[in-house]
Structure 1
Amino acid sequence: MPHYNAQCHCGNITLSFGNWPTSLTSCNCSVCRRYGTLWGYYESDSVTVSVLRQPTTAYQWGDGFIDFHHCPECGCVTHYTSTDKSPTQKVAINFKMVTPEEINNIQIRYFDGVDSWKYLND
């Protein structure tokens, strides 16, 4: 199985995954709009997080159900993980960590995380 990578600016954090997502999510909630992220969603067992020097640090907001991970060296938001302990735990990779050419043809879905909690372009 081929592996693809998303990497922070300084190369400290690399996320490896086996396939490109069919769509990416741009959320306008108070956190995501500030981070400027494009999320691709995976099962936690299909993503490998590799650390070169220092592990990520995490930030929780609101209901505390998500840990937003960032590189402590360059500050890039690399991914988020759900904090629940269910067997189908999710990981969202920030696809701003890959080159723009790699994601040019992936559909971007716009999620209204401020008001309706619905996708706006479905």
Structure 2
Amino acid sequence: MRTSSSLLVAAALVFAVVVVAETLPAAEATYRPIGNTSNLVVQQVGRFSVLVYDLSHRKSLVFVSVVSGETEAAVGGGTNYRLVILAETTPGGSKAKFQCVVWGVPGSRANTWKLLSFKAI
């Protein structure tokens, strides 16, 4: 009888946790604008995104500048950078804007950074 009561109580607790979890609002990403895009870290993130994309896709892109950007605290630590980058197709060639999302921890080594997306806009 005690085993049945214990199982019933455990099942009720599991049900309560599931109901509460389903009613809580999901945490949404909150990007905040970058005030100074000429900041050294922001410029390095922009250069990193162009370099990684160029190496993996062989597009001969050359970083020019960061036009605008936003950051958010990433789940599990680090920072997500969503940047609009200006790059040349070849040195002295036509310029185009790209949007990238990069995850990283400022001050960490380069091998811990990740380019999450890179697309022409």
TM-score, L = length of structure 2:
0.30
Larger strand fraction of residues: 1
Q: Which has the higher contact order (CA 8 A, sep 6+)?
A: 1
Larger helix fraction of residues: 2
Please tell me whether Structure 1 or Structure 2 has the larger radius of gyration of its CA atoms.
2
TM-score, L = length of structure 1:
0.30
